Each structure stands twice: as structure tokens, then as C-alpha cells.
Chain A
Amino acid sequence: MSTNPPKLADLQLEYEQAPSLLKGDSPGKEWLDIPVVFRDGNWCHAAKPNVIEDLGFNNPRKWSPADEDWKLEEGWQKIVKDGMKERLDKFRSFKLFMDICVRCGACSDKCHFFLGSGDPKNMPVVRAELMRSVYRHEFTWSGKLFKGLVGARPLSEEVLKEWFMYFHQCTECRRCSVFCPFGIDTAEVTLMGRELLNLAGTNINWISEPASNCNRTGNHLGIEPHTFKNVVESLAEDIEDQTGITVNPTFNRKGAEILFITPSGDVFGDPGIYTMMGYLMLFEHIGLDYTLSTYASEGGNFGLFTSNQSMKKINAKMFHEAERLGVKWILGGECGHMWRVVHQYMDTMNGPADFLEEPVSPITGTKFRNATSTKMVHIAEFTADLIHQDKLKLDPRRNDHLKTTFHDSCNIARGMGMLEEPRYVLRNVCNSFNEMPEHTIREETFCCGSGSGLNTDEYMDIRMRGGFPRASAVKHVKDKYDVNALVAICAIDRASLPPLMNYWNPGVSVYGLHELVGNALVMEGENERTEDLREDEMVDFEPESAAREEDE
């Protein structure tokens, strides 16, 4: 292995000794004069030509960000400028955020990438200035007149490279927008930046290929229907082996009451599969009339990281499939950006879903009044209601081998405002739960460092730096409360936090919320449970019952 990611000791030394803007050391020049250098570990592979063709984007070709020549097509500047004009006219957020920043600096040390790198261009204000400087030059008279004096600069290949680098060092987590006195949301700027990068034919494969796959097969990984079914059935077999309970998930079944959609990472990725097992057990336990779909087999939506049109296209399958199957409403699994799309975009883009009914829990009769139009309910809302109405038989001692803390996913916290539901579920399925320090949780939560489609291996250097603020907060509770389980309700978290923990906090494993629900569920007719869904020993479980006998 080369330097990607750097050895932990080297990075620790760098943090402690190297001068950094975060520590107040000046880089000695203006950010405009700091060149963009692509090195091992700080760029993602370019999208493959066939993927670009498949998505209908510009200039499919073989190239690499590390190349001197990016083989941009003739006239790319005009394409980008026209694209910018179009988006300024379509998105008030974009136009407003180009104009009203006062550079007060409140956001400057709020970004996990800045905290992990000290790179001036990772301060949210500068990230937006990368775009604003061009905006001023092209669209304001003061910029045209006074140029550099008012912070304007023309669009050049160097600027495009800078955009490519820094709009892929933003995970659209929106933490900066919590602190901005005007609510300027860098995610909006990055979304536009990435749309423009796509217009220029400078896409990254880790985002484009899943988007393309999702369109064809229904999920990011390109899994075809028969394989999807096989894998879920093999998880059902695992459940049977461990618990003695038979679960019978159905697929593409017309007339089911509820369509369940979750990120494909839960079906195919470790440790997401244990969360999937948790869902299946829960549904069996309450006798839910639900079906899975092989066509709408992806909750996630990498279109969000590509362009609003791709987002809409990928998202359209959910309602389309719900209508075809004739279900009453849709239940959605644990995922971050999926829920940003479902909560804030789906009804606008692909609604109204007149063919569905206002969601009511068939078990408790609770009406989900906050979802009456979109008709899609989050599993944490659904389960919190079940627990509150005492419909689940739970033994939290079965999670006593886990000392947990909870990681709020960016999109769930800042794009949905769902903070209490998962905590309520967690407190009811385990006995040890300690919060990370304030300013690192809830609406101020830190990104895993790999969100928005950046969780690719060649990017480990940046990911381990960007994830440092999250890891540092976990280390705090690990040292203080012996936390060994980081619980998250996001599929990208479940994929990207394990390497982050291995790097910064070995000994901390990553769990989905419903995996812990699955561990704690006391199901009728089950075998004696001595192992959790990962086949790890449930410590203290038998001894405790033995201890009780001794007491008696």
C-alpha cells in the first residue's frame, strides 16, 4: 500500500506538528494563489465512458483527474456558463447564496473536511467562493468592472479542476448551514457545482455508475431480480438458523398493504445485512402485510449527487412501483440521503401520490400525520410507535454486550429533523446508550466523511481526514464509557464508518438501529438466543438469569 490512507501515526504527527490554518497558522498566501494538486488519495476515479453514455451526459472519454490534460471538449466554458445561468434562473437558493454572503466566518470551522485537513478551501465560505468568484465575473457588473479587486475571476481549466476537487470534498451534509446567519447552505452550491461538472464531462465513477445501474436494474449495485431475491432469502435462512423463526419475505407481490424499500446496501453489504435481518424479524413479529420489490430495490439515490433530473428519474420508481402493486403506502428503511430525497424532494418531483392512502400503522392504528401527502413513513417512526404502544416484546439485555452511542446521519438530522425517534427505539432495545459530546450530535452532527457518494476506496486519505471529527467524538465516549457500538441509521454510514473506526478507534463496531431491534426481539417459538445476529456471544445474558435465580 502506498500513502492512501496515510499511516495513523503519520497523520497524528501531521495534526500535532504541521502548521495549519485550523490552528491559526497563515498559509502565507491568498487561497486564490494556492495551486490545486492531485495526489494519491485525494481524487476519485473518473466515470467510465460507457457509464457517461448510459446517463446521456457530455463528452464520454477515458481520462483521469491526475492527468495534465482532462480532454475537455471544445467550448466547455460556454456550456458551463450557460448551465450556470440556467440554474441561477431556476434555483432561488443558488442565486441568493451567490449574493448575500458577508464572509462573517461563522461557518469556517464547522466543516468536517476543514477540521480534518486545515485546507483553506475546505472552509465552507471559501468552497462557495470558488463558485462565487466565477459568478461575479460573469453575472455582476462590479465583477466585470473591478475583477480581482472584488473577488471575481474568469472560468479557466484550473478553476474547473479546483471545483472538481472541492465539490468532491463536500458531502452536502449541511452542517455549515446550521450556523450561517442567513442559512446559506453549501450543499446547494455543491449540488449546482456537481451539476456543472457533469455538464463539463468531469464526473466521478463512484457516483455515476451506481446512478446508471440503478436506472437499469433498480439498485446501485446492478443486482438483477433473481439475485436480489436469492440474497434476501439467504438472509431469511440465516435468521432461521439463528432463531428458529421462519420469515417469509415476498417480492413484487400485488395487493400487499405496504411496500418496503430500503437501500440495497442493507441487502448486500456487511454490516447492513444484519439491519436487513432486523427488519425482516420485526415484520414477522408483528405480522406485517408487506412486500419487497426487485424493481424498486434501492432506497438510495445517487442522482441527488449528480443532478436534479437524475434524482427525479431514479426516485420515480418508488411511486411507479407502489401504484403498480396497489399497496396502501410505502415504508422506508434506514438511510440518510434516501430520506433527504423522500422527505424534501419526492412529492414535489414525482407526486402527487393520489393512488396511495394516508399511512396508518396496521398494528397500532396510529396515523402518520406528518406523511399524509408523500405517504411514505420512516422505519424509525414506525418502530418508535410500535414500542410506544407496547406492541413489541423486547429484551434489551440481549444487547448488553454492546455499549452504544448514536450517530445522527446528516440528512436525517438536518434535512428531516428526526432526532428523537431513533433515540427512543435505541433506549428501548439496549441498556447502555451514551451520547457523544454536545456540538457533535443532533443538528450539529458530524458527517461520516464519506457521504454524498464519496465512499470509494481510492479516496481513503480524504475520507479518513474528513471523518476525523466524527471519530474524535466517538473516541471521547469510547474512553469515557467503553463504548464499543456506534449505531447509525444510514446505509452509507454502515459502509463507511467501519473503516473510519478501524483507522481511528479500533474496537468500535458499527450497527444499524434495527439490527439491535432484531437482537432484542423476543419472538414466539424462538430458540434460546445466546448469540446476536452477527453470531457474537451475548454476554451477561445467561449469567444474569442465573444471578436472578441465586437471588431467589
Chain B
Amino acid sequence: MKLIYPLLAILLLALVAYFGAAAGLEYLFGVIIPYISIVLFLGGFSWKIYDWVKSPVPFRIPTTCGQAKSLEWIKRDELESPSGFWGVFGRMSLEVLFFRSLFRNTKAELAPGPSLAYASSKWLWMAGLLFHWSLLVIVLRHYRFFLASVPGFVELLESVDGFLQITLPTLYITDLLLVIAVTFLLIRRLASAQMRIISLSTDYFPLLLILAIALSGISMRYLDKVDVVEIKILVQGLVSFQFDAPGKIGGMFYVHLFLVCVLASYFPFSKLMHMGGIFLSPTRNLANNSREKRHINPWNPEVKFRTYAEYEDEFREKMVKADLPTEVPLPEEKE
């Protein structure tokens, strides 16, 4: 069920776009919906970040994954237990660019005895890294449609990405890697009992959606070819805030574009916000220096604690008998 519903939803969305555009709703799918989705994406993304940032970080709670700064002769690990800005910068860069924590992944096995053994397990890390990097390269490659003259970095990306020079038009490696990685991530969710039980429909939906976007894009390039010149005119119109009606492009393009719009609109209201959230994670983006530099909690509550004076008042007699010093002497016993 958790898989079927998202699958059906995406099929339905694709059909709506295909037949909608065919039925003459090109303006809706080519202009209106893209504008709405971009507003939802940017607005939603900013709102979500604001929503997080307005909750303060009351305590400095980095998870330390290496030796902290200590005595001078003890070798410290700035990237795993940063003591200042540059350490944090390095740690965050490793997390964001190379998924450092995921790289640590192990798989536990219960062996007879019973005993537990842990083996390094890098598949998730590898698939995740390939998936995200491919997606980034693909998104950047799409810049060719946004600007009148293709920027140099896009041409560079394209030539590196297409260096195999097989098939016509040239096969982009990232297209292939993206499809493989997403398929792996999907199968991974379905293949293990642990993954099945933790997965929600909202975990399958984005994976399937991205897969559908990739497949519709690839099919436009190799199978159901579309008019690229018209697409570029449409996209440039959109980025320069024009509302001209699109020309004749081809149905598969509207499937692709509509699914991208769905993804963009869905993004800020879903787990996909991990993209923004990772930068705010207090266990990673704070230096481990809380004994060295006082961290301020803006709502630090006034808490009434039991003062020494109150304590002594209760125990004074016993303390004096036990020869413990007191602030206030026992009252003189009067005859």
C-alpha cells in the first residue's frame, strides 16, 4: 500500500499532464503551473527555514565523533570534534559534500554464541552520493535552457558528463547513474524487512517522482523527441517573467515539466527539506567548545533551587554535631 498509492498518484499526474496538454491546456501546464510551483517552492522553502530558525538553539549539543581539544600534547581531531569555526566549516563541508556520517555506516550481524559482529557497509553511502551528485549535475546542465547563450561551465559539464560519446545524442553518464542510484534506493527499501517497516508512503513518493522525471526526460532525448528550440523559447520566457503561450513542443515535455512542478511544490512540505535542514543541525554545526566559551540560551528560565542557606537551616544541628562548619551557629541553649 505504502508503495502502490504513490505509484498510482504519479501515474495519474503524468497522464493528466500528457492528455491535458494534448487537449489544448498547454498554457496551463506550460506557464501557469510552473509559475505557481516556483512560488510555492521559493515561498515554502523560505518559510520553512524561517520556521526553524525562529526556534532558538538553547544548548550547545554537538555530537563529538573524535578527540576534543584538550591538553596540548593530546592530538585532537578538528573535523570530528571541532573546537572553532574552521573545524565546524570543515565538518559541515564533509557532511554536505561527501556525506561523512553515512560513510561510517556498518551492518550488525547476530551470530551464534550469541555474539554481534559489525561489518562496514557503504552501499547506502555510495548510492546516496551518486544520486545527489548526479541530480546536481543534471540540474546544472539544465541551465542551458535558462540563458540565451550557454554558460561555459554548463558546456564543460556537458562535455565531461558525455565523455563516453556513445549513442546519439550523446549519453550523459549522470542520467544513467541517477536512474541506477534511484532504482537501487527503491529496491533497498523494498528488499529488507527493516527498511520496509520504517518506510512511509512519503518515502516512496519522492523516489518514484524523481525516477519518473528522469525517465520522461531521457525518453524526450532518445525516444519521443521534442522540439528543443521551442522549449528554450518557453523557458526563457518564463525566466524573464513573460506570459507568452508556448509553441508546439510534444506531450512528453509536459509530463516532464509537470512532474518537476509537482516536485518543486511538494519539496518545502516534505522530508526533502533535509536539503536545507542539514545546515541547521545543532549536533553538527556547533563547535565543541562549551566549557571554553559560554553559549547563551535566550530563554534561560529562572529556576528556584535549594540554596546552601536553606540546606544548612534544615541540617544545622546535625552538621554541628558532626563537626562540619556552618555559616550560622546553633542558637545557644537556654536554661
B334 within 8 A of A: no
B-contacting residues, A79-120, CB 8 Å: 88-96, 99-106, 108-110, 115, 120
Per the bound structure, the CA–CA distance linking A30 and B116 in Å amounts to: 26
Using A180-B101, A468-B116, A472-B116 as known contacts, say yes or no to A347 and B108 having CB atoms under 8 A apart: no
Whole-angstrom distance between the Cβ of B268 and the nearest chain A Cβ: 10
Tell me if B274 and A182 are in contact (CB < 8 A).
yes
Interface pair A418/B193, CB less than 8 Å apart: no
A-B contact count (CB 8 A): 327
A195 interface hit (Cβ, 8 Å): no
Residue contact B325 to A344, C-beta cutoff 8 Å = no
| CB atoms of A420 and B74 under 8 A apart | yes
Contact residues in B for A22 (Cβ distance below 8 Å): 108, 110
A177 / chain B contacts, CB cutoff of 8 Å: 63, 283
Q: Which residues of B contact A108 (CB under 8 A)?
A: 194-195, 198
List residues of B (247-306) whose CB comes within 8 Å of A's CBs: 269-271, 273-274, 277-278, 280-284, 288-297, 299-301, 303-306
- Whether the pair A102, B274 counts as a contact (CB closer than 8 A) is yes
Q: How far is the CB of B335 from chain A (nearest CB, A)?
A: 27
| Residue A352 CB within 8 A of the other chain | yes
Chain A's closest residue to B322 (CB) is: A226
Give the interface segment out of B14-22, B64-72, B147-155: B64-72
- Does any Cβ of A come within 8 Å of B245's Cβ? no
Assess A419 versus B58: contact at CB under 8 Å? Given A347-B294, A472-B114: no
Contact between chains at B305 and A215 (CB < 8 Å): yes
Bound CA span A20–B303, Å: 46
Does residue A268 face the partner (Cβ distance < 8 Å to B)? no
Q: Are B278 and A100 in contact (CB under 8 A)?
A: yes
User: How many residues from B make CB contacts under 8 Å with A?
Assistant: 101
Judging by beta carbons under 8 Å apart, are A90 and B193 in contact?
no
The CA of A26 and the CA of B63, in the complex, are separated in Å by: 32
Instruction: Identify which of A41-49, A58-66, A183-191, A455-463 touches chain B.
Output: A183-191
In the complex, chain B residues 157-212 whose Cβ is within 8 Å of any chain A Cβ: 192-203
Interface string of A341-385 (1 = CB under 8 A from B): 011110111011000000000000010111111101000010011
Instruction: Provide the bound-state CA to CA distance between A320 and B306, in Å.
Output: 10
Nearest CB of chain B from residue A367's CB, rounded to whole Å: 9
| A20-B110, A229-B322 known; A185-B61 Cβ under 8 A | yes
When chains A and B are docked, how far (Å) is the Cα of A314 from the Cα of B305? Answer: 7
Cross-chain contact of A373 among B115, B192, B291 (Cβ < 8 A): B291
Binds A, one of B24-32, B48-56, B214-222, B223-231: B48-56
Check if B308 is an interface residue, CB within 8 A of chain A.
Answer: yes
Q: Roughly how many angstroms separate A321 CA and B307 CA in the complex, as a whole number? A: 9
Query: Is the Cβ of A252 less than 8 Å from the Cβ of B325?
Result: yes
Is A401's beta carbon under 8 Å from chain B? no
Partner of B299, one of A20, A90, A388: A90
Would you call B290 and A348 a contact (CB within 8 A)? yes
How far is it, in angstroms, between the C-alpha of A219 and the C-alpha of B311 when the chains are bound? 12
A109 touches B194 (CB 8 A): yes
Per-position binary interface string of chain A over residues 438-459, scored 1 when its CB falls under 8 Å from any chain B CB and 0 otherwise: 1110011000000000000000
Q: Which residues of B contact A475 (CB under 8 A)?
A: 113, 115
User: Judging by beta carbons under 8 Å apart, are A149 and B281 in contact?
Assistant: no
- Tell me if A2 counts as interface (CB < 8 A to partner B): no
A525 interfacial by beta-carbon distance below 8 Å = no
Q: Is A312 an interface residue (CB 8 A)?
A: yes
Per-residue A-contact encoding for B106-131, CB less than 8 Å = 1, 0 else: 11101011111010000010001000
CB closest residue in chain B, given A418: B68
- Of residues A95, A370, A385, which shows the largest number of chain B Cβ atoms within 10 Å of its Cβ? A370
Most buried by A among B70, B303, B308: B70
Q: Are A348 and B74 in contact (CB under 8 A)?
A: no
What are the residues of chain B within 8 A of A15 when measuring CB–CB? 110, 114
Query: In the complex, how many angstroms separate the beta carbon of B213 from the nearest chain A beta carbon?
Result: 18
A182 touches B308 (CB 8 A): no
Question: Which of A347, A349, A414 has a CB less than 8 Å from the CB of B291?
Answer: A347
* B101–A178 touching, CB < 8 Å: yes
Flag whether A21 is at the interface (Cβ < 8 A): yes
Identify the 4 closest CB pairs spanning chains A and B, nearest first.
Answer: A417-B68, A417-B64, A226-B322, A100-B277
**Chain A residues within 8 Å of B, Cβ to Cβ:** 12, 15-16, 20-27, 30-31, 88-96, 99-106, 108-110, 115, 120, 123, 125-126, 129, 140-142, 149-151, 174, 177-185, 188, 215-218, 224-226, 229-230, 251-254, 294-295, 308-309, 312-314, 316-317, 320-321, 324, 342-345, 347-349, 351-352, 366, 368-374, 376, 381, 384-385, 388, 413-421, 424, 437-440, 443-444, 468-469, 472-473, 475-476
